């Protein structure tokens, strides 16, 4: 069930779920606003809550709209691509062989079959980025499990449109956005810790923040760095 609030031109989507607390989020790329609330919460109560946060909402929207964005990727020679926060120039090679990606010095080498279109090149690159996450994530998860006293049963890597990560506390699984391979490594660690803390506290409560402060004292710096990095060109949606 959902409703929409119009706060003087600022549109807020209200989504009701089986949760205990109200959550307010502002999503990239344009600053879409969503309140997630317990099912029986009065809509006027949520309106008053949203109005009290209107200054913060507009500030977050301004930051998102002004944030640098990469232009659409065409996967052509000398196009800029990123790995772990560092910029590389792309070199494209066509060959009658299996597609692959490698890194050499200041270049990322993309090998595709002759005539491969943009969608195919994008799929090859995304698979490579997923492999970069898979090479690093297990070590970070293993590092934090004994520290936090939790166990991740399984992790998944996929391209996600609205989140850097997610957690299913019931199954003890986490999901990581393959786009994190483009960001500094500390951003990946921050997201992994963030999702693992959800195994201890499902919601973004004061206890959640306290746990983040305890395990990763610099987490807010990492979050700011992640948010300061250029956004992908795609139009993110729910």
Cis omega (within 30 of 0) for bond into 185: no
* In the chain, % of residues over pLDDT 70: 90
Q: How many CB atoms lie within 10 A of CB 157?
A: 20
CA 130 from centre of chain = 13
Task: Report whether pLDDT(140) > 60.
Answer: yes
What is the chain's mean pLDDT, rounded?
A: 89
Whole-number pLDDT of residue 238? 28
Task: Report whether pLDDT(10) > 80.
Answer: yes
Query: How far is 38 from 29, CA to CA, in rounded Å?
Result: 26
Task: Report whether pLDDT(28) > 60.
Answer: yes
Whole-number pLDDT of residue 237? 34
Query: Which among 4-8, 39-43, 57-61, 191-195 has the top mean pLDDT?
Result: 191-195
Whole-number pLDDT of residue 204? 83
Residue ranges and CATH numbers for the domains of the chain are 2-66 (no CATH), 80-228 (3.30.2010.10)
* In the chain, % of residues over pLDDT 90: 65
Inter-residue contact 39 to 16 (CB < 8 Å): yes
Pick from 214, 84, 92, 99: nearest CA to 148: 214
Whole-number pLDDT of residue 62? 80
Q: What is the pLDDT of residues 178-209, one digit of tens each?
A: 999 999 999 999 999 999 999 999 888 889 99
Report the predicted TM-score, pTM, of the whole model to 2 decimal places. 0.72
Task: Report whether pLDDT(24) > 80.
Answer: yes
Using alpha carbons only, give the angle 157, 158, 159 rounded to the nearest 5 degrees: 140
Structure tokens at 165: 């990560």
Pick from 139, 233, 121: nearest CA to 185: 139
Give DSSP secondary structure letters for 30-74: TTEEEEEEETT--HHHHHHHHHHTHHHHHHHHHHHHHS-BPPPP-
CA–CA distances in Å: residue 236 to residues 9, 29, 98, 127, 194 = 21, 6, 31, 19, 21
């Amino acid at each position: 069930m959902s409703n929409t609030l119009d706060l003087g031109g600022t549109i807020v989507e209200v989504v009701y779920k089986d949760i205990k607390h109200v959550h307010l989020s502002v999503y990239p790329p344009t600053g879409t606003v969503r309140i997630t609330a317990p099912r029986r919460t009065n809509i006027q109560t949520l309106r008053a809550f949203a109005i009290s946060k209107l200054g913060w909402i507009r500030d977050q929207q301004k930051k998102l709209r002004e944030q640098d964005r990469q232009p659409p990727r065409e996967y052509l020679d000398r196009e800029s691509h990123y790995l772990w926060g560092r910029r590389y120039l792309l070199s494209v090679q066509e060959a009658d062989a299996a597609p692959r990606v490698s890194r050499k010095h200041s270049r990322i080498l993309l090998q595709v079959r002759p005539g491969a279109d943009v969608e195919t090149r994008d799929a090859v690159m995304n698979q490579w980025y997923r492999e970069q996450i898979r090479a690093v994530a297990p070590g970070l998860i293993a590092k934090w499990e004994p520290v936090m006293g939790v166990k991740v049963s399984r992790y998944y890597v996929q391209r996600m449109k609205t989140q850097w990560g997610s957690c299913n506390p019931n199954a003890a699984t986490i999901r990581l956005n393959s786009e994190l391979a483009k960001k500094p490594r500390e951003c990946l660690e921050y997201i992994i810790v963030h999702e693992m803390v959800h195994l201890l506290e499902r919601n973004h409560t004061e206890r959640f923040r306290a746990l983040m402060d305890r395990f990763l004292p610099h987490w807010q710096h990492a979050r700011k760095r992640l948010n300061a990095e250029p956004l992908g060109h795609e139009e993110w949606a729910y």
